[in-house]
């Protein structure tokens, strides 16, 4: 499914000057070394005044540069179920921006979200009792957004879940707490007996 995107202009450099983008870049490098953000997979974000700032599509999380950030200001589902995104920045945001948008919309306390591809967790989530979506839908579809919304409505206190056949999503009230949450769950998955 094609996502309609509207570039509203350049990213305001002030958005990146408070240190949050630097901290997310550090976590991107760390999590890449752990193998849960292989290649150009996964994305990291933090809330901003106008919406949220997220890594651009196609960036490798161990090589984030200042120009690799995009500020998403609005996400919409049109009547035909297609998706639209408005953003500031030099690149389009990942289609996984809709994963982040669904979590931010449903979870006001979320200030930072990590979406990664932890294969160990995908294989062991049931055994570890990690909540997961019921069905797989391709990223960037209205069905995938609805599936996340359903999960978060049914489990409003959850801060970590598995997108079935896709990846993991975790969030917290700040970047450090979100990074440590992802790290702890990854270690549990690695240590789980086969």
Domains and CATH numbers, the chain: 4-191 (3.40.225.10)
CA 34 to each of CA 37, 51, 183, 184: distance values in angstroms, whole numbers, following the listed order: 8, 29, 9, 12
SS3 state at 29: helix
Structure tokens at 98: 């809709």
Q: What is the pLDDT of residue 65?
A: 92
179 pLDDT tier (thresholds 50, 70, 90):
very high
The pLDDT value given to residue 2: 59
Residue 79: pLDDT band (50, 70, 90) is confident
Residue in this structure with the two tokens 């499914």, named with its chain if needed = 1
Question: Looking at 14-18, 109-113, 133-137, 158-162, which range is the least confident one?
Answer: 14-18
Token representation of residue 155: 């489990």
| Spatial separation of the C-alpha atoms in residues 21 and 68, rounded to whole Å | 10
Which whole number is the average pLDDT over 158-178? 96
Place of tokens 């489990």: 155
Instruction: Provide mean pLDDT across the span 159-169.
Output: 95
Per-residue confidence (pLDDT) for residue 155, from 0 to 100: 95
Q: Which residue has the higher pLDDT, 116 or 15?
A: 116
Do strands 4-9 and 83-88 pair parallel, antiparallel, or not at all (unpaired)? parallel
Average pLDDT over residues 148-163: 95
What is residue 112's predicted lDDT score, i.e. its pLDDT?
98
Average model confidence (pLDDT) across the chain: 91
Average pLDDT over residues 169-180: 97
Average pLDDT of span 93-110? 93
Question: In the β-sheet with 167-172, what is the strand arrangement from edge to edge?
Answer: 4-9, 83-88, 69-77, 52-55, 43-47, 112-116, 167-172, 160-163
81: left (phi over 0), alpha (psi -120 to 50) or beta: left
């Amino acid at each position: 499914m094609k996502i309609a995107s509207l570039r509203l202009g350049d990213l305001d450099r002030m958005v990146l000057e408070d240190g949050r983008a630097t901290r997310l870049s550090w976590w991107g490098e760390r999590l890449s070394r752990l193998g849960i953000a292989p290649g150009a997979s996964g994305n990291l974000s933090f809330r901003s005044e106008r919406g949220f700032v997220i890594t651009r599509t196609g960036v490798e999380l161990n090589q984030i540069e200042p120009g690799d950030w995009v500020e998403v200001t609005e996400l919409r589902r049109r009547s035909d179920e297609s998706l639209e995104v408005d953003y500031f920045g030099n690149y389009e945001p990942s289609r996984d921006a809709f994963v982040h948008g669904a979590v931010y919309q449903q979870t006001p306390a979320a200030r930072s979200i990590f979406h990664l591809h932890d294969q160990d967790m995908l294989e062991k989530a049931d055994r570890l009792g990690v909540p997961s979506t019921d069905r797989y839908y391709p990223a960037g579809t209205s069905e995938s957004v609805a599936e996340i919304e359903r999960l978060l409505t049914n489990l409003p206190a959850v801060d970590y879940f598995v997108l079935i056949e896709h990846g993991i999503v975790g969030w917290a009230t700040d970047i450090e707490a979100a990074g440590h949450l992802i790290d702890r769950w990854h270690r549990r998955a690695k240590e789980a007996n086969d």
